[in-house]
Amino acid sequence: MAAADDAAVRAGQPADAGAQAAPGIDAARLRVAVLRLARRLRKHDLAGLTPSQLSTLATVGKSGPVRLGDLAAAERIAPSTLTRLINVLESLGYVRRDADTGDARAFLVSVTDPGTEALERIKDEATSLLAEMVTALPPDQLDALVAALPALESLAGSG
Locate the domains of the chain by residue range: 46-154
Highest mean pLDDT out of 15-19, 34-38, 63-67, 85-89: 85-89
Q: What is the pLDDT at residue 40?
A: 85
Give residue 128's pLDDT: 92
For the chain, what is the mean pLDDT? Answer: 85
Q: Are 127 and 121 in contact (CB under 8 A)?
A: no
Q: How confident is the model at residue 9 (pLDDT cuts 50, 70, 90)?
A: very low
Q: Per-residue pLDDT for 4 more than 80? A: no
pLDDT of residue 45: 66
pLDDT of residue 42: 78
Residues sharing a CB contact under 8 Å with residue 42, sequence separation 6 or more, in sequence order? 51, 126
Secondary-structure class of domain 46-154 per CATH: mainly alpha
- Give this prediction's pTM: 0.71
